[in-house]
Copies of this chain bind each other. A is one copy, B any other.
């Protein structure tokens, strides 16, 4: 198995990215680093020689910055490390592409180079939330600012396959984000999507879930449009880090509190790790012909290694093939009202 990794993408590239690759490369997983070979080699000099043998480099001198307009940058920079990683997959030399660079650019490159799965209307970006107890799959976290009901049905089906194959959840339950649990609650988009999802024989549809349920393990898969999903994902991350910061501040406020904080340190650190978004490494673009993973811009080597590990597992499970089967099954169903 080979994964292509954009060595120049991310706030801490190339060092953290390359070292993340070195941490997982081995006889079972070869990594192709795309980027400026000389810089990559300098980082690899510090890596385990054993790992080095399973890493190859594809020269790609250009880079795409975080501020660049995605579609334009992708078209203009064929020789960028990000586009090169997608090209490795498109041309069959790699099983998946991973980048911690410009998310929009990675989505655009994946759409252009890998194209959609046959019969699918819209790929969706799915994140794995580190909710206590067990993780929650959340789709769409930003690939589609504007969606129609049938897109939500597609997201639900793809994320169910992802939860089953990659997280090993059996017959995952699926919830649709709305502003009330009853099927009559929500906006027009959600009311129609609810009908489609309830009528879909492939889905284990739970019904509507509310904002509070997203982090409460009410369902295994939470489905929403890319606008709401993106706002929610960023809000969750910000709220939890804010609270952890405030608890830390509280633990500096007096001498007794400082001692208390010191005694609690191990448990608090364990807890912080358990809600660490790095654990699952990235977000998965479901619905293109190949595995595509986008990592947080601030990814550490640990996050990159974790993303590569999950991508390898997804590839071993033939995630893309199973998504294709499910989408073909959806497309074979008779069209219903609103199913457009």
Contacts and interface: CB of A to CB of B under 8 A. Distances in A.
A325 interface: no
* Interface residue SS majority, chain A: helix
Interface of A: 132, 142, 145-146, 177-179, 185-188, 190, 210-216, 224, 226-228, 230-240, 242-244, 246-247, 249-251, 253-254, 256-257, 259-268, 270-271, 274-275
Contacts of A146: 187-188
Contact of A230 (B179, B250, B253): B179
Contacts of A261: 260, 264
Given A179-B227, A271-B246, A238 B254 contact: no
Interface centre among A187, A212, A227, A264, by most B CB within 10 Å? Answer: A264
A242 B215 contact: yes
21 contacts: A132-B242, A145-B186, A145-B187, A178-B227, A179-B231, A211-B233, A211-B235, A211-B238, A212-B237, A214-B238, A215-B239, A216-B242, A228-B228, A235-B236, A240-B243, A246-B274, A254-B266, A254-B267, A256-B263, A259-B260, A259-B263
| Residue of A145, A235, A261, A271 ringed by the most chain B CB atoms within 10 A | A235
A211 B230 contact: yes
Nearest to A254: B267
A215 B187 contact: no
Contacts of A253: 267
Given A145-B186, A259-B263, A210 B232 contact: no
Contacts of A212: 234-235, 237-238
Nearest to A229: B179
A216 B243 contact: no
B239 A210 contact: no
This protein's copies in its complex: 2
Contacts of A237: 212
A206 to B, nearest CB: 16
Contact of A177 (B216, B231, B242, B270): B231
Nearest to A210: B234
B257 A264 contact: yes
Given A215-B239, A243-B275, A259-B263, 5 more contacts: A211-B230, A211-B231, A216-B242, A246-B271, A247-B247
Given A179-B231, A228-B227, A232-B232, A268 B239 contact: no
A117 to B, nearest CB: 24
A178 B234 CA distance: 11
Contact of A263 (B186, B246, B257): B257
